[in-house]
């Protein structure tokens, strides 16, 4: 009987988890590892895989010890959102078909991406039809994917913008910055 109680006690410790309450009203039963610009967590304490979620997608974290942390959601102005996105792209984004780092600027509210190879493209981030989930690849690479419109010699055509990053946390930060900028454009429009 003593062994059974000990087993139940340790099973409870191993299975005890934190709860992340998201802004879209879902509860994630996870083990929170770190809270910084993103929230790092594991879905299973024995798993080696670490996931990240943007702080803008989280309302509250309930820890297994009974404490909780509310997450503030500051509303960024259009200029703040643009500057944040430019900083993150310049720091973390690569061209999908090469190892060229991308550089970003804005021209008349259109995002201009340039690579060292000379490729340039302009995107209208105010017109995003769908944000996709971050996709994982081997060697810890992660890709940000979403549908927007691209300037093709004066014609705006629907396209999928894909940016490569070196890890999932960087991709999470980039995707969140694109979402925040898209929201800022919508607020400015209304």
The tens digit of pLDDT for each residue in 126-143 reads: 998 899 999 988 888 999
Give the model's confidence band at 7: pLDDT under 50 very low, under 70 low, under 90 confident, else very high.
very low
72: nearest Cα among 97, 88, 84, 55: 55
Chain segment 21-41, per-residue pLDDT in tens? 998 888 999 999 999 989 999
The domains found in the chain, sorted by start residue, are 2-70 (2.30.30), 78-189 (2.30.29.30)
Max distance between CA atoms of the chain, in angstroms, equals 77
Which residue bears the tokens 């790092």? 40
Q: What is the reported pLDDT for 117?
A: 82
Chain segment 153-180, per-residue pLDDT in tens? 788 899 999 999 999 999 999 999 999 9
Give the model's confidence band at 9: pLDDT under 50 very low, under 70 low, under 90 confident, else very high.
very low
Q: Are 120 and 150 in contact (CB under 8 A)?
A: no
As beta bridge partners, residue 30 has 18
Average pLDDT over residues 87-96: 94
Q: Give the pTM.
A: 0.81
Round to whole Å and give the CA distance between 23 and 27. 9
Helix (H, G, I), strand (E, B) or coil at 91: helix
Q: Are 19 and 62 in contact (CB under 8 A)?
A: yes
As beta bridge partners, residue 123 has 111, 150
Exposure string of 90-103, with b = 16+ CB inside 10 Å and e = fewer, is eebbbbeeeebbbe
Round to whole Å and give the CA distance between 83 and 62. 32
The yes-or-no verdict on residue 10 having pLDDT over 80 is: no
Q: What is the reported pLDDT for 3?
A: 52
Q: What is the reported pLDDT for 49?
A: 87
Distances (CA, A) of 119 to 6, 114, 122, 147: 63, 6, 11, 19
Chain segment 42-87, per-residue pLDDT in tens? 998 888 888 999 898 899 999 999 999 999 888 899 999 999 999 9
């Amino acid at each position: 009987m003593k062994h059974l109680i000990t087993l139940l006690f340790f099973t409870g410790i191993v299975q005890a988890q934190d709860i992340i309450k998201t802004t879209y009203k879902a509860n994630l039963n996870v083990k929170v590892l770190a809270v910084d610009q993103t929230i790092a967590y594991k879905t299973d304490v024995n798993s080696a895989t670490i996931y990240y979620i943007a702080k803008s997608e989280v309302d509250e974290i309930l820890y297994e010890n009974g404490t909780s942390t509310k997450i503030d959601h500051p509303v960024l102005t259009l200029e703040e959102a643009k500057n944040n996105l430019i900083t993150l792209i310049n720091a973390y984004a690569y061209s999908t078909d090469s190892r060229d780092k991308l550089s970003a600027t804005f021209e008349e509210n259109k995002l201009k991406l340039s690579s060292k190879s000379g490729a340039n493209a302009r995107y209208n981030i105010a017109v995003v039809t769908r944000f996709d989930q971050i996709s994982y690849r081997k060697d810890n690479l992660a890709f940000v994917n979403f549908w927007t419109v691209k300037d093709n010699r004066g014609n705006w055509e629907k396209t999928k913008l894909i940016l490569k990053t070196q890890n999932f946390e960087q991709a999470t930060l980039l995707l969140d910055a694109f979402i925040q900028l898209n929201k800022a454009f919508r607020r400015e429009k209304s």
